[in-house]
Amino acid sequence: MSESLIPKSEIMRLLAENSGNAFAHTTYKEESLRFHLLMQGDIRAVEESDRMCDPDMQGTLSLDPIRNARYLFIVNTGLATRYCIEAGVPQERVYAASDLYIQKADVTDSIADIRALNREFWKHAVELVRDSQNARHYSKPIMVCLDYIDSHFTTKITLRDLAGETDLHPAYLAVLFRKEVGEPFGSYLGRRRTDTARALLTRTEYSYAKIAYSLGYCSQSHFIKSFRGACGLTPHQYRMRFYNANISVHTQVVMEK
């Protein structure tokens, strides 16, 4: 049996040191409070989370103060992500948000800015939970469909694909989808793609062709026609009017690959 990378004696040493300094980590009850508040969509979860980011409450994960703050942020964000999913938030939506915030924290070199990121993420998480609570209650097959669309809407998706995921006949699923979601599958998918195209047009320098193909459109002309029909503007006109120079860190990372 190989020797442990961290011997038990080192763990015992840290326990003794913490005891000598009268330091104790936050209790499970304290930890549970912020997540209970989050799952209830209670904005007080933001303040609790900020309090829990204090290194005096959580211990030392790194001897470097900024790296320690970054690690605490990542732990907080990861736990909040899983609690959001338990509260009913579609997993891809909360994972996408947590990925972006963690990427931003990774290039942030100020403890105050990392704490601000933590507050902002938790506020967003509370909003996601509230939106989920206020949303319609869907049957299991439709929830499977919505999660599948969230995960695959940048590729070609057919009603037959969704039927295969739910073990339902395509015709029956089409009726059920329209009844519960309030619009046909094709309309819902098109709206999701248009919303994403808006974000890519205003926050990236991607070409119109790249956006078209990355969102599953068969051609650039098809994308332009669909986008103009939904927004009343061509992709070029929309970008010129609403472009935001504050490109997200996620976009920069992708562009550099």
Using CA atoms in the order 52, 57, 58, 61, what is the torsion angle rounded to 10 degrees?
A: 120
pLDDT, one tens digit per residue, over 188-247 is: 998 888 888 887 888 778 889 988 888 888 889 999 999 999 999 999 999 998 886 443
Does the pTM exceed 0.75?
no
Three-state SS for 97-127 is: HHHHHHHHHHCCCCHHHHHHHHHHHHHHHHH
Q: Which of 25, 57, 113, 18 is nearest to 49 (CA)?
A: 57
Q: What is the pLDDT of residue 8?
A: 64
What type of residue is 168?
L
The CATH T-level fold of domain 184-257 is Arc Repressor Mutant, subunit A (1.10.10)
pLDDT interval class at 52 (50, 70, 90) = confident
pLDDT, one tens digit per residue, over 143-195 is: 899 888 877 877 788 999 999 999 999 999 999 999 998 999 999 998 888 88
Chain position carrying tokens 């508040």 = 37
pLDDT interval class at 11 (50, 70, 90) = low
